[in-house]
Amino acid sequence: MYVERTLKWPLAAASRQFPVILIPGPRQVGKTTLLRHAAGAERRYVTLDDPQARTLANDDPGLFLQRFAPPVLIDEIQYAPELLPHIKMIVDSRQQPGDFWLTGSQQFHLMQGVSESLAGRVGIVNLLGFSRRELAGHSEWIEPFLPGDFETGAGDQPLGLMDLYGAIWRGSLPRIALDAEVDRDLFYGSYVQTYLQRDVRALANVGDEMAFTKFLRATAARTGQLLNLADMARDVDVSPNTAKNWLSILKSSGIIYLLEPYYSNVTKRLVKTPKMYFLDTGLAAYLTEWSSPETLEAGAMSGAILESWAVAEVIRSYWHAGRQAPIYFYRDKELREIDLVIFRDGTLYPIEIKKTTAPTKKDIRNFSVLAQLDVPRGPGAVLCLTESPMPITETVWAIPVSQI
């Protein structure tokens, strides 16, 4: 069963504008499925997961691009960076929009090569696993999430507590999100092993895969927390430099997202350390060994993983609309924190994420600190377990977290 993706709209728009389209994203989020569904019959397809195709692409890029001439979809382009200068020559000669559709699962080296070879010629649209809206059957393009705009919600009844944690526990990757019969532990066990064998070995010379797996688990246990590399390195018994390199691998391969703090020159008392989030909560729950939605909901990570899921949903609302996510968090030296701050059109929109059905003014008490930043403040929101949107103040609403 094919489920429509919201990204089809910005994909179509970008393909009319740029000769090269690149969709980076983690493994198994549906990049190839989306593009093959959108491709016309005349577009060729080749994956560089195929050893023969990969060898030809690296040994003789010119012959490869004659055999797979545009319009073409090239899967896992990061395996053949030698293709990029040759693609540049072709697009400069042909001047045809939409000639090359590319996917990639490793962003660091891939984006470095793209910026060097295809600057000004490539439209980049990011894809993650399914959003709640997409799983609810809503693939139409809408504006990304912004407090005060309730039209961006999923449109269905909000999920009940255990249905919500069931979705969090299983995660957003299509194979497991769409088929309840798929064994969750077998799926994620295979996913982690494939990730270690392909992406980790390709991005870095990780000599101790057991230590890296332990680091991966330690990272999952800290989702929603301020990044503390020294603690993570100590827990895994590796050097701080090794921990830093391994963290960059997780970021480059789309496993984690580093949420930067909002910073203003008006005040110097703001924390500058990012917060770390797993982009797929199913993977985080698997790595931290929560055996069921019920144990996850009742356990020590219940609030943090709900926050991680909500942050990922907000990110999806922007990325799947073809936009960058202008999101930050606020934290100052007095430990006053706001979970999310959206900075859009010169205005700050504060957001709290709470595991409660009835948020109060106490939950938004830190919103007032934004006044010292001398930046206009828009409506705020508390993403929570309420059954329907309801006002907390004249400018702040409680919104069901499953209707982002």
Within this chain, do residues 211 and 116 fall inside the same structural domain, yes or no?
no
Per-residue pLDDT of the chain (404 residues; tens, 9 = 90+): 889 999 999 999 999 999 999 999 898 999 999 999 999 888 999 999 999 999 999 999 999 999 999 999 999 998 898 999 999 999 999 999 999 999 988 765 666 677 778 889 999 999 999 999 999 998 888 889 999 876 555 556 789 999 999 999 999 999 999 999 999 999 999 999 888 767 776 666 666 788 889 999 999 999 999 999 999 999 999 999 999 989 998 998 899 999 999 987 555 567 789 999 999 999 999 999 999 999 999 999 999 999 999 999 999 999 999 999 999 999 988 889 999 999 999 999 999 999 999 999 999 999 999 988 889 999 999 999 999 999 999 999 999 998 88
Query: Could you tell me the pTM of the whole model?
Result: 0.94
**Residue in the structure block whose two tokens are 């994203």:** 25
CA angle 294/302/316 to nearest 5° reads 105
Within this chain, do residues 287 and 330 fall inside the same structural domain, yes or no?
yes
- Sheet containing 256-259: order of strands: 225-226, 275-278, 256-259
In whole angstroms, what is the distance from residue 93 CA to residue 62 CA?
Answer: 14
Which of 106, 124, 142 is a domain's end point? 124
31 lies in a domain? yes
Within this chain, do residues 184 and 117 fall inside the same structural domain, yes or no?
no
Number of Cβ within a 10 Å radius of residue 291? 12
In whole angstroms, what is the distance from residue 106 CA to residue 108 CA?
Answer: 6
2 lies in a domain? no
- The b-or-e profile of 333-372 (16+ CB within 10 A means b, else e) is eeeebbbbbbeeeeebbbbbbbbeeebeeebbebbebbee
For residue 24, cis peptide bond before it (omega within 30 degrees of 0): no
Q: What pLDDT does 267 receive?
A: 56
Within this chain, do residues 101 and 212 fall inside the same structural domain, yes or no?
no
Q: What pLDDT does 198 receive?
A: 73
In whole angstroms, what is the distance from residue 140 CA to residue 215 CA?
Answer: 39
Q: What pLDDT does 71 receive?
A: 97
In whole angstroms, what is the distance from residue 371 CA to residue 141 CA?
Answer: 33
Which of 124, 153, 176 is a domain's end point? 124
1 lies in a domain? no
Which of 102, 124, 146 is a domain's end point? 124
CB-count burial class (<10 Å; 0-12, 13-18, 19+) for 205 = exposed
Number of Cβ within a 10 Å radius of residue 314? 22
Strands 347-353 and 327-331: unpaired
In whole angstroms, what is the distance from residue 175 CA to residue 164 CA?
Answer: 18
Within this chain, do residues 394 and 249 fall inside the same structural domain, yes or no?
yes
Give just the sign of the alpha carbon dihedral 198, 203, 206, 211.
negative
Token pair listed for 264: 């203003």
Within this chain, do residues 242 and 371 fall inside the same structural domain, yes or no?
yes
Judge contact between 172 and 134, C-beta under 8 A: no
Could you list the residue range(s) of the whole structural domain that residue 106 is in?
8-124
Cα end-to-end span (Å), the chain:
24
Q: What are phi and psi of 349, to 5 degrees?
A: -120, 110
208 lies in a domain? yes
